[in-house]
Structure 1
């Protein structure tokens, strides 16, 4: 386990993370596509092995059948006187031929054999073994498979295409789809070679043994495409309601719930129940926020009246020391009531989101600070974000006020990063101890340096700013600058 993450961990986990989609739609699609492909490939491999085994058995049986017929033809021509052989061959051709196309030559005719066909080589081996078994006294056999358009049938490079069509039309298959031809040559006596050519019982046996032929792959590809399309439609119908639920949850978390549409109660039973539960939760949260706002306003209003009466009564006390103690306690109580009311008012800003030009918004804050005699440096960047203008102005104003209260001067910078816009507000004060940084967002927490610089503050500004920024989908980061002072960085989602 890699904790904290290191460069080695990132190297080990980087490439699987890039291959694994981030969305549920992408993940379900990838899993279903991969599962279908693996299943299809496994089934195709099993089917291909069975098809090859079946083709091998059928080809061996056909090879023995052809070899026995060839052995009988060879015996017949050997038994004829040499002068009658050509006459018999001519009569056979005029009668339409027999099982074999037969010719006599004075030497072996070279044949351009089909290469790279294991099944054809196996058939040739079986035919040769069967011929040697049936004709043990033969001097030998020359066997090969060849395509008709390249087949030589006689000496002087006489090819099959040069022969009259009547000689071969009933023996060899030349049109429309040529089939491989088995050629058997043997020397029946010195200087006389018998040439025989024939088709296998299944002329296209080489095609039947190929599981990846186009006519076989096309139906499988079509069925796979249909199944994948249906799977994608099902996955999309499942994930689309989840995307709507995600958008609604994001709008609720960022305070844009008034813009969100009601979740459609359609789809599967589980999603309908989830949508109803989410809608009920959203209504409860809305009522809670409204009740909280009314409660805070009521409490603040109701408390300020008795506080004012107590202040007036404390003026009637004769003991000055006791009167001062009463006034200090009442002032502290009044400050706490005002702070609670300010926290509610600044956090619950009801306005519509819009495109905000940061140069204009920050420029107004900078000019106001400069008119008050503060030193603020700012360079326009021409960047736009989407948010609630008044709320964002209050958040950035709180950060700028802190920087001016606790530092000699402030610097504001705006920059774009991938997917986000960064607004930095840096002061040139003494900074903050590292162990105190996490506590700066707590209400009423003020460091000693802060109390010296701004004794009228209540320690609510950073908490209010963080709440507003998080409602915009961003985050507020505090860190000490390397050159001194506190650097507050606001990261907001990019407008695009």
Structure 2
């Protein structure tokens, strides 16, 4: 599970900081909304219960008033109330309870009905049956003759019919057999059901706007913080490839300014050390050639031929080492700017030259390009190709793109290399037995030079025995779109 989560996490520092801040803000919003919704729910239940209790007391008073009237006077009183403009309750008398489509599944409505029923039972203990319900005013029946609220004059229902429909509380009380008192009214807060849903559209919109603003600011802050680190990473990568880029800007936080200064000082020290070492190495190697030549001339004056031969062998070996040192510096330290290299054109020329010399070389065009130093890359591939031509009967060149990288493979069909010797092949002056017998003029520097060039490009040189026989050298270079430097 941790490995799976690690694969899901962004790889960049900016992505991880952004993800942590987004999750933190979302969790804070969710917890805050949960606590606020719980408080609002408790407040809504309390307010609804209090309002339902007051409304039930008013309904009890109305029921007691009609109970005190003779049955034949009740319709007259109701008609007088209607002509006066109505009352808080829409009142009617029916022979049976009127069925209405009740609102179901509403916690606040159920709580209000429970409180009304309890209050009516307390105020009117002698009432035999009470029917309560909340219903929407649309096509709400008011009489057992099928009449609805829409059929009544506006003056009768002005306290119930609002511009925005609100749930209507129906109270039907059996006063005596065949006489049911019908009371319809609104709660003190007509839209009390909406208070039970704290996440209204307006609040959700406000929450979304505030969340978007916080996330936008968080992402901007994270980018502002991590941008200097990206510049530092690019400068370190360029320096590792031997490129001389501009100095890091000393802007941003105090910690980054100190880091930039320390990195710049380190880069200058390393650069001076490398330049001094190269100059010293080249000077020593160059200066040694003169005394070696003088010693060879003096060796000719020796009378002892055996001694003369031994001196010649030692001086030839020393001369070869000096030439190898000069070649290593010359081949590895190629100062040029990276550019877009079309691999088909580069390898095509090398293949044609080898074929003109009588070698069997196979190559298929790939259409791929890579950002590299052309001469240095040619020198690295040339060293691998020369080795393959010396030790194999046939050579195959292949270029492919894999996992975002460019791979250049040089394979020969020679005897291969013992597995135990693979790890030390790139070391200077390392030559295997069959290599010395087939190429006596070599010095064992080609693979080391090729590896150094490839590593300077940020790549890797892979050496292995090929399946089915032969040896395979693969140059792996970072791919992606070419960006001029």
TM-score by length of 1: 0.94
Give 1:396-407 correspondences, 5 Å limit.
396-407=381-392
Residue of structure 2 in register with 1:119 after alignment? 108
What is the CA-CA distance between 1:14 and the residue it aligns to?
A: 5.8
Partner residue of 1:395 out of 380, 402, 427: 380
The answer on 1:238 being equivalent to 2:229 is no
What is the CA-CA distance between 1:285 and the residue it aligns to?
A: 2.1
What is the CA-CA distance between 1:326 and the residue it aligns to?
A: 1.3
Residue of structure 1 in register with 2:288 after alignment? 303
Residue of structure 1 in register with 2:186 after alignment? 199
Residue of structure 1 in register with 2:266 after alignment? 281
Q: Deviations over 1:169-194 (max 9, x none)?
A: 2x22x333222111101111111111
Residue of structure 2 in register with 1:97 after alignment? 86
Provide the aligned C-alpha RMSD in A: 1.5
What is the CA-CA distance between 1:403 and the residue it aligns to?
A: 0.8
C-alpha separation in 2, matches of 1:111 and 1:15 = 57
Partner residue of 2:38 out of 41, 44, 49: 49
* 5+ long unaligned stretches in structure 1: 1-11
Residue of structure 2 in register with 1:365 after alignment? 350
C-alpha separation in 1, matches of 2:139 and 2:28 = 42
* 5+ long unaligned stretches in structure 2: none
Residue of structure 2 in register with 1:4 after alignment? none
C-alpha separation in 2, matches of 1:220 and 1:415 = 51
CA distance 1:261–1:153, shift in 2 (3 Å): farther
Q: Is the 8 A contact 1:424 1:489 kept in 2?
A: yes
The answer on 1:417 being equivalent to 2:402 is yes
Q: Is the 8 A contact 2:425 2:431 kept in 1?
A: yes
Residue of structure 1 in register with 2:58 after alignment? 69
What is the CA-CA distance between 1:13 and the residue it aligns to?
A: 5.6
The answer on 1:40 being equivalent to 2:29 is yes
C-alpha separation in 1, matches of 2:122 and 2:365 = 98
Q: How many residues align?
A: 481
Q: Deviations over 1:391-436 (max 9, x none)?
A: 0110000001111112222111122223122211111111111111
Partner residue of 1:82 out of 55, 71, 96: 71
C-alpha separation in 1, matches of 2:480 and 2:224 = 29
Q: Secondary structure at the match of 1:446?
A: coil
Give 1:122-271 correspondences, 5 Å limit.
122-169=111-158, 171-172=159-160, 174-255=161-242, 257-258=243-244, 260-271=245-256
Q: Secondary structure at the match of 1:476?
A: strand
Q: Deviations over 1:89-129 (max 9, x none)?
A: 12222333333221111221111111221110111112112
Q: Deviations over 1:335-378 (max 9, x none)?
A: 11111111111111111212212122112222222233322222
Q: Secondary structure at the match of 1:477?
A: strand
Q: Secondary structure at the match of 1:441?
A: coil
Residue of structure 2 in register with 1:8 after alignment? none
The answer on 1:25 being equivalent to 2:14 is yes
C-alpha separation in 2, matches of 1:118 and 1:13 = 43
C-alpha separation in 1, matches of 2:330 and 2:163 = 89
Moved over 4 A (4+): none
C-alpha separation in 2, matches of 1:14 and 1:274 = 32
C-alpha separation in 1, matches of 2:284 and 2:181 = 119
Residue of structure 2 in register with 1:7 after alignment? none
C-alpha separation in 1, matches of 2:149 and 2:49 = 27
Q: Secondary structure at the match of 1:82?
A: coil
CA distance 1:432–1:189, shift in 2 (3 Å): same
Q: Is the 8 A contact 2:286 2:326 kept in 1?
A: no
Residue of structure 1 in register with 2:330 after alignment? 345
Residue of structure 1 in register with 2:469 after alignment? 484
C-alpha separation in 1, matches of 2:206 and 2:131 = 41
Q: Is the 8 A contact 1:381 1:415 kept in 2?
A: yes
What is the CA-CA distance between 1:216 and the residue it aligns to?
A: 2.1
Residue of structure 2 in register with 1:5 after alignment? none
Partner residue of 1:451 out of 417, 421, 436: 436
Q: Secondary structure at the match of 2:138?
A: helix
Q: Deviations over 1:25-57 (max 9, x none)?
A: 111111100111011101111111111111111
C-alpha separation in 2, matches of 1:208 and 1:125 = 18
What is the CA-CA distance between 1:495 and the residue it aligns to?
A: 4.6
Partner residue of 2:48 out of 56, 59, 69: 59
Q: Secondary structure at the match of 2:396?
A: strand
C-alpha separation in 2, matches of 1:381 and 1:227 = 49
Q: Is the 8 A contact 1:384 1:495 kept in 2?
A: no
Residue of structure 2 in register with 1:438 after alignment? 423
What is the CA-CA distance between 1:168 and the residue it aligns to?
A: 2.1
Partner residue of 2:278 out of 267, 278, 293: 293
What is the CA-CA distance between 1:324 and the residue it aligns to?
A: 1.3
C-alpha separation in 1, matches of 2:353 and 2:205 = 74
Q: Is the 8 A contact 1:112 1:150 kept in 2?
A: no
